[in-house]
Amino acid sequence: MSFGNRAPRGVLRRRTPLLLAGAALAALAGSAVTPLNASAAAAGCSVEYDVTNDWGSGFVASVKITNTGAALSNWELEWDFAGGQQITGGWNATYDQSGSHVSATNVSHNGTLSSGAETTIGFQGTGGGADPTAFTLNGVTCDGSDPGDPGDPGDPGDPGGPTASLVGWATQNGGTNGGAEGQTVSVSSASALVSAMQRSDPLVIRVSGTINLSGMNDVASNKTIIGAGGARITGGGLDVDGVRDVIIQNLTFSNWADDAINVQEGSTNVWIDHNTFTTGYDGAVDIKRESDFVTVSWNHLDGSGKSMLLGHSDGHTADRGHLRVTYHHNWFDGSQTRHPRVRFGDPVHVFNNYYYDNEYGVASTMGAGVLVEGNYFENVEDPALVGYASSDDGDIVARNNHLVGSGAIETAGSVNSIPYSYSPDSATSVKSIVTSGAGAD
């Protein structure tokens, strides 16, 4: 079986560090190794295998590969599962599985690994059991040393975590780690959740069951809020207000009385990822009042009304120079408007989202600059609008989008350059990629 790109979710649950490399043609027991050309031959490497989310019947894993030997122009990582696990989707590599044996081959953007360079791949799978205990890279068994210096144990790298899959504006300004430096707590009641969110120390908060909130509830800096499978927040919302470094993942929001998630008052470095939003009073994800460096990724908006507002009002000119946000791989599924509705922010990056049966997709107003790239629009009356309602026009640059039964994309002016690296999927494949990967478990 082969698997294409999907994005990961979750936070660290268990880690198997494996230091790789060295012996000339050693391979995993029972596996055949196809010789590779000289430029691909591995001299040494290390691997760190992390299960980032585990809900019993399935899991998400991140695999960090560090090249401790000579430069590589392409690579193939192989291992055997010990517990009957089966990969159902992956990202940053092409995966093939036969029985328990798995091979992961580089894709175009990560094939070249100079000495000391690293890349992270990952996948979602079913089943459970023991983690892999042996890997080979280009046919060489992994133990972490460089054959040219057998006494050097290599560098196992940083412990990793949810930022392995982070793309976009939240990677800037020092990056976004949430509560990764703190302890992990589990909550299943509104009082426990609110108390944990408002603690001053870094914290990973694991949410289980259905939690009924009232009103908007503050989230302090350095927090990761992640749902166990099926976790739901209803009635109220999360207020990310004047803070830094917040990650919100794998939650379903419903029947919110104000906003589901409100990012405001200069909050920075926020990542909103792999959540599901049904219907509520106002915005599903609103970002405003000088907030900045935000990524909104792999969310499923299922019938929402006012989906995603970016910018408080036409009169709030203090938003100029802020509101730099990336929206990617979101599924706007019969949701009505604001995907997003943008004021002032430039550049705002909207790429590889799937729009289905919406009133309008993107609106750029009040001098905003929006790059609309590689999206799939299906049955969308107005995929992108220059200006909206009584707001002054903004700018839109559009490229490589795919339209099915939809109106025209309006464009105007120019947009500031995107400062971070990213690898967009082909627009024609976005529908299948996003519908199979977006939303909460």
Q: How far apart are CA 435 and CA 374, in angstroms?
A: 15
Q: How far apart are CA 239 and CA 168, in angstroms?
A: 22
Name which of 294, 272, 252, 281 is nearest 441 in CA terms. 252
269 Cβ contact list (under 8 Å, min separation 6): 170, 173, 174, 175, 176, 244, 245, 246, 293, 294
Q: Cα-flanking dihedrals φ and ψ of residue 263, to 5°?
A: -110, 120
Q: Is 197 helix (H, G, I), strand (E, B) or coil?
A: helix
Residue 333 parent element (H or E): strand 331-333
Which is catalytic among the residues 9, 206, 338, 341?
338
Q: Cα-flanking dihedrals φ and ψ of residue 110, to 5°?
A: -130, 20
Q: How far apart are CA 391 and CA 393, in angstroms?
A: 7
Residue 186 parent element (H or E): strand 183-187
Q: How far apart are CA 322 and CA 390, in angstroms?
A: 22
413 Cβ contact list (under 8 Å, min separation 6): 369, 394, 395, 396, 397
Q: How far apart are CA 437 and CA 441, in angstroms?
A: 10
For residue 244, indicate whether it is catalytic. no
Residue 233: strand pairing partners: 211, 253
Q: Is 431 helix (H, G, I), strand (E, B) or coil?
A: helix
Which residues belong to the active site? Answer: 338
